[in-house]
Amino acid sequence: MEDFTAIGRLLIIFGLVLAGLGLLLLLAGRVPGVGRLPGDIVIQTDNVTCFFPLATMIILSILLTVLLNVVARLFR
């Protein structure tokens, strides 16, 4: 019976993480300037547009690294 308890806890944690990610994606569309930072590359031709959000991804990577380090320190 204890095996089911561990699986249940993992499923609850996974569900909370997915809900948090969904909320983050909903709110990310309302933040001004995301995806239009200096360093984001946009190449447009007649029929094709290529978008490379380099600066946005670097900032997002730094924020997620800090967040995950804080969470990891809380669970130590």
Q: Residue 65: its pLDDT value, please?
A: 96
pLDDT band of 1, cuts 50, 70, 90: low
Q: How many domains does the chain have?
A: 2
Tokens linked to 38 = 């200096």
Pair (51, 19) in one structural domain: no
CA distances from 15 to 11, 20, 69, 70 (A): 6, 9, 21, 20
Average confidence score pLDDT of the chain: 88
Angle in degrees, CA 25, 23, 10, rounded to 5: 110
Same domain membership, residue 21 and residue 45: no
How high is the pLDDT of residue 75? 81
Instruction: Report the percent of the chain where pLDDT is more than 90.
Output: 50
For residues 17 and 43, state if they share a domain: no
Residues 45 and 75 in one domain: yes
Residue 15 has pLDDT above 70, yes or no: yes
Backbone angles phi, psi at 14, to 5 degrees: -60, -40
Same domain, 39 and 65: yes
Unique residue bearing structure tokens 């946005």: 56
Structural domain range at position 9: 1-31
